[in-house]
């Protein structure tokens, strides 16, 4: 069971939008921005509140890559694997990050809930390839060494 | 509040007056690229410095005060284009503009002291090519060789200020459009020959006409800002750098087809575009330029923003509208087309960012002017994002019909570190590769199609001889396969099968008959897939197969990768004279393929080696090398 405060927050988010199907995606985005994931209980709750079926809400939530039912780390690191980054060797950067954090293509989030590492298709920062994004900040011209240093810096920040 | 045409003229005049009153403006590039290299910090430092420097004063609206000190403005602009050399800073004094590149926090004080106060140019911070240093941005070959319509304001003014847009002639086009009849506006766009910049190249005017003649009276204007092609960032730069222009273009479309609501669908990876667009919409609403009875006419228009949620297929029209409606972003069969039944089943004008951003200037300067640029079949300019193994990466705009050679060598400065040109991938996962023999072909919508590629939205990734084309094909196929929505079988299953074959080939297990199967599957998907994403998914494979067939064959028959990029086809050896016998590689090898005696040189057992490269990473003496 989720704490009552989650539902209060969700009510507040829902109140920003019209109560119908078109608001489902923005509401889910706001909830995810708040908690860094989409707690399944809240999705069912939202469905009821905006008058759509739970099945419909789940079908939409599972379609889009951005929604995650699992909690993500404090720092979500998106490694760009777009064409420009790929030809400028983004794979070694991804490998270095996963190695440093003990993650893999199966496990994306560290046990201490500090880091999540995922890949994205393009960050739109192709001029500075290879790029990664930590939460909303883009880091340009990455190398495996810079990636490891960045992790150390973020660890120090906690 | 701006209630009518006269007040708009007055507001623009007042804004120009403000601009003229600045003694100096420090324009800090705040595109995604420069922010990533630290331009926000630079902006902050400049603001602090200007505040604390005697003789200069930081002002936000220089008119109306009695300034004894020099009035200096510190502004954040959109993309100045030269992304690789960021943070970029321009110092503007009247008509004189100085472009500084790679500005670091420690340079700021010197810039204030020398350039702002004493009018001196700091040569070290200028852009250099060979022995030449360029002062004005317009002289730098990278910029001088471009023609900028959509990007004309990008990097020149504060993207977050409506006043600056007004001062640059913003909303003059809307004013003119509102004084024309709706049909006249559509005719002008139609006559201009403007074609959809999102990739398809469908004539925009024809689309508008089709929407305008529908019986249904509720209509929508939708902007596709879901720039999902990896390697493309033009639309993002326009949304960040000149958001008002995009909105003005959409408003003109709204007026022309009698729509009262406009939606911009922006991909989730562009948080800055979303922020700048919201800022623009709020300012326009506050000043009465969005809302009911705009400029005292019967035209009302409201803007909405929808953020994508990470689905490439939403760049397809019917999937995009489904997503705005709150559904899974899956395309549907057509007809009915979006112009008849689009958003909420209503007639909808759906164009991409660059298409709308071209509209204001077409209305202002006329269809004939637009037709005088570009080629007969594809008038106007096209923006491209130039990336990959190229010297000058960045955002460019050139007339349609410009050759690849001009783009890559004259503007792009040739390949990075003097590497040899191999191919340029154009049109992203829906496009193909152009090579040496296409370098002198003029690029436009129709010419590129002949070479098994598409102009697409404008992503251009330059590849040197270090790039393996089979791997590139595999890369794109893995992208489309992952992004396939799964609704139709040809795309869902076909891309999966093609990917399996390509993976086999790069892993050294390909067979010659695989190439025929690839071609067969490709034709099947092209003809039978439901939407544009599926139909174009095989293009990267077909195009590389036709141009670089040898490379596929070398992978299959000789089990070698000419570019030495395919891991599984690499062959690792230890160079005896360099090996100190420390055993570190042996300890790091996951398959225990390396053996030896401490102090003597180690050996790799090729039967056991899985070519993971762990040994190379661990060796402190560079004693392990890869041959093909």
pLDDT in tens, B167-187: 999 999 999 999 999 999 999
Determine contact, residues B227/B353, Cβ cutoff 8 Å.
yes
**Most confident by average pLDDT, A64-68, B232-236, B496-500, B624-628:** B496-500
Q: Which of residues 250-309 of B touch A (CB under 8 A)?
A: 268-271, 306-309
Say whether both B320 and B439 belong to one domain.
Answer: no
Q: What residues of chain A lie within 8 A of the CB of B463, using their CB?
A: 87
Asked if residue B311 belongs to a domain, the reply is yes
Q: Give the pLDDT band (50/70/90) at residue B610.
A: confident
Where a domain ends, among B558, B583, B600? B558
Q: Which two tokens stand for residue A109?
A: 């989030």
pLDDT tens for residues B342-360? 999 999 999 999 999 999 9
Tell me which residue in A26, A64, A131 faces B311 most closely, judged by beta carbons: A64
Q: Closest Cα partner for B318 from B524, B79, B532, B163?
A: B532
Residue B198: which pLDDT band, with cuts at 50, 70 and 90? confident
Asked whether residue B153 is domain-assigned, the answer is no
Indicate the residue among B323, B345, B371 that finishes a domain.
B371
- Chain B residues lying within 8 Å of A20, measured CB to CB: 326
Task: Say yes or no to pLDDT of A71 above 60.
Answer: yes
Report the pLDDT value the prediction gives residue B63, as an integer from 0 to 100. Answer: 63
Count interface pairs A-B at CB distance under 8 A.
143
Query: Would you place residue B66 in the very low, low, confident or very high pLDDT band (cuts 50, 70, 90)?
Result: low
Is the previous residue joined to B335 through a cis bond, with omega within 30 degrees of 0? yes
Note whether A81 contacts B230, CB cutoff 8 Å.
Answer: yes
Flag the least confident range among A48-52, B58-62, B277-281.
B58-62
Taking CA atoms, A55 is separated from A62, B161, B394, in Å, by: 11, 44, 44
The pLDDT of residue A136: 84
Strand spans (E) along B561-611: 571-574, 594-595, 603-604
Q: How large a percentage of chain B has pLDDT more than 90?
A: 78
Q: What is the pLDDT of residues B128-171, one digit of tens each?
A: 988 999 999 999 999 999 999 999 999 998 999 999 999 999 99
Do strands B571-574 and B603-604 pair parallel, antiparallel, or not at all (unpaired)? Answer: unpaired
Helix (H, G, I), strand (E, B) or coil at B422: strand
User: Is there a single domain that holds both residue B209 and residue B316?
Assistant: yes
Beta bridge partners of B128: B133
Per-residue confidence (pLDDT) for residue B307, from 0 to 100: 96
* Same domain? B330 vs B428: no
Domain tally, chain B: 5
Higher pLDDT pick, B58 / B33: B33
Q: Is 60 exceeded by the pLDDT of residue B1?
A: yes
Distance from CA of B494 to the nearest CA of A (A): 20
Interface check B201 vs A, CB under 8 A: no
Which range (A79-93, B54-68, B611-625) has the least confidence?
Answer: B54-68
> What CATH number is associated with residue B477?
1.20.1440.230
Share of chain B above pLDDT 70, in %: 99
User: Is there a single domain that holds both residue B482 and residue B599?
Assistant: no
Q: For residue A15, how many other CB atoms are within 10 A of its CB?
A: 9
CB contact under 8 A, B326 and A29: no
Look at residue B388 and tell me if it is in a domain: yes
CA B70 to CA B51: how far, in whole Å?
Answer: 11
pLDDT tier at A76 (50, 70, 90 boundaries)? very high
For chain A, give the number of residues: 158
Closest CA of chain B from A82, distance in Å: 4
Distance CA B139, CA B133 (A): 10
CA–CA distance, B319 with B327 (Å, rounded to integer):
9
Question: For residue B468, which residues of chain A lie inside 8 Å, CB to CB?
Answer: none
User: Which residue does chain A place closest to B473, by CA atoms?
Assistant: A83
Q: How far is CA B243 from CA A11, A152, B64, B161, B601, in A?
A: 32, 38, 28, 10, 63
Sign of the torsion formed by the C-alpha atoms of B609, B614, B616 and B620: negative
CB < 8 Å from A in window 482-511 of B: 483, 485
List of residues 6+ apart from B219 with CB closer than 8 A: B211, B257, B258, B259, B346, B347, B348, B349
pLDDT tens-digit readout, B243-280: 999 999 999 999 999 999 999 999 988 989 999 999 99
Q: Quick one: pLDDT at residue B231? A: 81
Distance (Å, whole) CA B393 – CA B143: 12
Place of tokens 């195009």: B543
B480 and A CB contact within 8 Å = no
B428/B478 same-domain check: no
Both tokens of B477, joined, read 């196929």
Is B180 in the same domain as B129? no
Which residues does chain B have within 8 Å of residue A129's beta carbon, measured at their own beta carbons?
A: 387-388, 393
Q: How confident is the model at residue B6 (pLDDT cuts 50, 70, 90)?
A: very high
pLDDT exceeds cutoff 70 at B597: yes
- For testing contact with chain B, the best of A26, A87, A100 (most B CBs within 10 A): A87
pLDDT band at B394 (very low <50, low <70, confident <90, very high): confident
- Across chain B, mean pLDDT equals 93
**Residue B451 falls within a domain, yes or no?**
yes
Work out the angle between the directed axes of helices B182-192 and B243-257 (0-180°, nearest 10): 120
Q: Which of residues 589-608 of B touch A (CB under 8 A)?
A: none
Are the beta carbons of B268 and A66 separated by less than 8 Å?
yes
CA of A44 to nearest chain B CA: how many angstroms apart?
A: 15
Measured between alpha carbons, how far is B330 from A15 in angstroms, rounded to an integer? 28
Please tell me whether residue B449 adopts helix, strand or coil conformation: helix
At residue B135, the pLDDT reads: 95
Q: Would you state the pLDDT for residue B557?
A: 96
Please report residues of A whose CB lies closer than 8 A to that of B220: none
Residue A121 in tokens: 């298709």
Residue of A nearest to B467 (CA): A87
How many Cα neighbours within 13 Å face the side chain of B19?
A: 23
pLDDT at B65 (0 to 100): 55
- Alpha helix (H) ranges present in chain A? 4-14, 24-35, 40-50, 54-63, 83-87, 91-101, 144-157
Q: Which of B309, B388, B395 sits opposite A29 (nearest CB)?
A: B309
CATH for B50 = 3.40.30.10
Which of B402, B433, B464 marks a domain boundary? B464
- Read off the CATH number of the domain in which B616 is found: 3.30.70.20
pTM for the structure as a whole = 0.92
Q: At what angle do helices B271-286 and B243-257 cross, to 10 degrees?
A: 60
Average confidence score pLDDT of chain A: 93
- Let me know whether B484 and B459 are in one domain: no
| B242 lies in the same domain as B363 | yes
Closest B-chain CA to A52? B326
How would you class B567 by CB atoms within 10 Å of its CB: exposed for 0-12, middle for 13-18, buried for 19 or more? Answer: middle
Q: Residue A82 has which token pair?
A: 């777009």
Looking at domain A4-63, its CATH class is mainly alpha
Point out the residue among A23, A59, A128 whose CB comes nearest to the CB of B328: A59
Whether B297 is covered by a domain: the verdict is yes
Does one domain contain both B516 and B586? no
B491: domain range?
469-558
Please state the domain extents for chain A: 4-63, 75-157
Sheet with B96-100, edge to edge strand ranges: B56-58, B70-77, B24-29, B89-93, B96-100
Most A CBs within 10 A among B81, B102, B461, hence the mutation to make, goes to B461
Contact status of B421 with chain A (Cβ, < 8 Å) = no
Surface of B (7-36) touching A: CB under 8 A:
32-33, 35-36
H runs (alpha helix) in B548-609: 549-553, 584-588
Other beta carbons within 10 Å of B601: 15
In this structure, the answer to whether residues B446 and B476 fall within a common structural domain is no
Identify whether B5 is part of a domain.
no
Q: How far is CA B123 from the centre of its chain?
A: 31
Least confident of A45-49, B74-78, B230-234: B230-234
Report CB contact under 8 Å: A123, B32.
Answer: yes
CA of B81: which chain A residue's CA is closest? Answer: A127
**Any domain includes B565:** no
Chain A residue with minimum CA distance to B307: A26
Measured CA to CA in angstroms, residue B344 lies from A95, B101, B368, B418 at distances of 44, 48, 36, 53
Q: Contact B495/B313 with Cβ under 8 angstroms?
A: no
- Does a structural domain hold residue B81? yes
Give A156's pLDDT tier (boundaries 50, 70, 90): very high
Residues B453-468: pLDDT tens digits? Answer: 888 878 898 999 989 9
Q: Identify the band that residue B62 occupies on the pLDDT scale cut at 50, 70 and 90.
A: low
ipTM: 0.90
C-alpha B129/C-alpha B146 separation (Å) is 17
Closest to B236 (Cβ–Cβ): which among A25, A66, A124?
Answer: A124
Q: Residues, chain B, total?
A: 628
Half-sphere exposure of B577 (CA within 13 A, CB side): 0
Q: Across residues B80-87, what is the average pLDDT?
A: 87
Query: Given this model, what pLDDT does residue B339 score?
Result: 96
Match domain A75-157 to its CATH number in 3.30.56.10, 3.40.30.10, 1.10.510.10, 3.40.50.10490: 3.40.30.10
**Tell me: the pLDDT tens digits for B565-596?**
888 888 888 999 999 999 999 998 988 999 99
């Amino acid at each position: 069971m989720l704490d009552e405060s989650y539902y209060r927050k969700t009510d507040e988010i829902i109140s920003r939008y019209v109560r119908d199907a078109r608001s489902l995606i923005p509401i889910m985005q706001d909830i995810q921005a708040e908690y860094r994931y989409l707690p399944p209980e809240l999705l069912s709750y939202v469905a009821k509140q905006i008058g759509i079926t739970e099945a419909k809400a789940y079908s939409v939530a599972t379609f889009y890559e951005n929604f995650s039912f699992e909690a993500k780390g404090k720092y979500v690191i998106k490694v760009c694997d777009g064409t420009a980054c790929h030809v400028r060797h983004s794979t070694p950067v991804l490998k270095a990050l996963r190695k440093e954090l003990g993650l893999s293509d199966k496990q994306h989030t560290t046990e201490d809930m500090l880091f999540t590492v995922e890949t994205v298709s393009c960050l739109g920062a192709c001029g500075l390839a290879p790029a990664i994004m930590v939460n909303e900040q883009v880091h340009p011209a990455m190398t495996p060494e810079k990636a490891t240093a960045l992790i150390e810096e973020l660890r120090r920040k906690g | 509040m701006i209630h009518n045409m006269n007040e708009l003229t007055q507001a623009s005049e007042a804004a120009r007056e403000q601009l003229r009153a600045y003694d100096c403006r420090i324009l800090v590039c705040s595109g995604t690229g420069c922010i990533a290299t630290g331009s926000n910090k630079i902006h902050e430092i400049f603001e602090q410095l200007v505040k604390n420097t005697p003789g200069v004063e930081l002002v936000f609206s220089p008119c109306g005060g009695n300034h004894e000190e020099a009035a200096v403005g510190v502004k954040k602009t959109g993309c100045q284009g030269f992304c690789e050399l960021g943070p970029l800073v321009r110092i503007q004094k009247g008509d004189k503009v100085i472009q500084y590149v790679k500005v670091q926090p420690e340079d700021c004080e010197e810039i204030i002291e020398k350039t702002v106060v004493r009018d001196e140019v700091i040569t070290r911070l200028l852009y250099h090519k060979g022995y030449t240093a360029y002062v004005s941005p317009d002289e730098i070959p990278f910029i001088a060789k471009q023609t900028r319509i959509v990007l004309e304001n990008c990097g020149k003014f504060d993207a977050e200020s409506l006043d600056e847009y007004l001062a640059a002639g913003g909303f003059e086009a809307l004013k003119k459009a509102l004084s024309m009849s709706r049909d006249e506006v559509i005719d002008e766009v139609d006559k201009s020959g403007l074609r959809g910049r999102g990739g398809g190249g469908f004539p925009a005017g024809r689309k508008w006409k089709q929407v305008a003649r529908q019986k249904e009276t509720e209509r929508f204007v939708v902007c596709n800002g879901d720039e999902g092609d990896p390697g493309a960032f033009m639309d993002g730069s326009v949304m960040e750098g000149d958001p008002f222009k995009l909105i003005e273009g959409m408003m003109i479309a709204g007026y022309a087809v009698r729509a009262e609501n406009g939606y911009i669908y922006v991909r989730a990876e562009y948080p800055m575009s979303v922020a700048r667009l919201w800022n623009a919409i709020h300012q326009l609403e506050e000043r009465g330029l969005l809302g009911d009875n705009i400029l005292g006419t019967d035209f009302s228009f409201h803007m909405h923003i929808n953020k994508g949620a990470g689905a490439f297929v939403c760049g397809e029209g019917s999937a995009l509208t489904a997503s705005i409606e709150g559904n899974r972003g899956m395309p549907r069969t057509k007809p009915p087309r979006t112009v008849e039944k689009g958003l909420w089943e209503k007639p909808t004008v759906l164009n991409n960012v660059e298409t709308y951003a071209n509209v204001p200037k077409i209305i202002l300067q006329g269809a004939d002017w637009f037709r005088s640029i570009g080629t007969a079949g594809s008038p106007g300019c096209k923006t491209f994002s130039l990336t990959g193994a190229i010297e000058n990466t960045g955002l460019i705009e050139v007339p349609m019909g410009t050759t690849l050679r001009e783009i890559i060598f004259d503007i792009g400065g040739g390949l990075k570190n003097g590497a040899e040109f191999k191919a340029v991938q154009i049109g992203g996962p829906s496009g193909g590769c152009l090579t040496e023999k296409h370098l002198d072909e003029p690029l436009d919508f129709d010419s590129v199609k002949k070479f098994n590629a598409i102009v697409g939205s404008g992503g251009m990734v330059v590849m040197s001889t270090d790039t393996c084309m089979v791997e590139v094909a595999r890369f794109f196929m893995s992208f489309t396969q992952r992004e396939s929505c799964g609704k139709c079988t040809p795309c869902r299953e076909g891309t999966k099968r093609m990917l399996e074959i390509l993976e086999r080939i790069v892993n050294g297990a390909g067979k010659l008959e695989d190439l025929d199967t690839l071609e067969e599957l490709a034709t099947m998907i092209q003809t039978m897939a439901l939407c544009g994403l599926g139909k174009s998914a095989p293009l990267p494979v077909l195009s590389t197969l036709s141009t670089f067939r040898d490379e596929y064959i070398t992978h299959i028959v000789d089990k070698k990768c000419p570019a030495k990029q395919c891991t599984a086809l690499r062959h690792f050896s230890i160079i005896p004279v360099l090996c100190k016998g420390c055993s570190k590689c042996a300890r790091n090898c996951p398959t225990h393929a390396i053996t030896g005696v401490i102090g003597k040189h180690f050996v790799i057992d090729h039967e056991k080696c899985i070519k993971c490269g762990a040994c190379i990473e661990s060796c402190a003496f560079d004693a392990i090398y890869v041959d093909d």
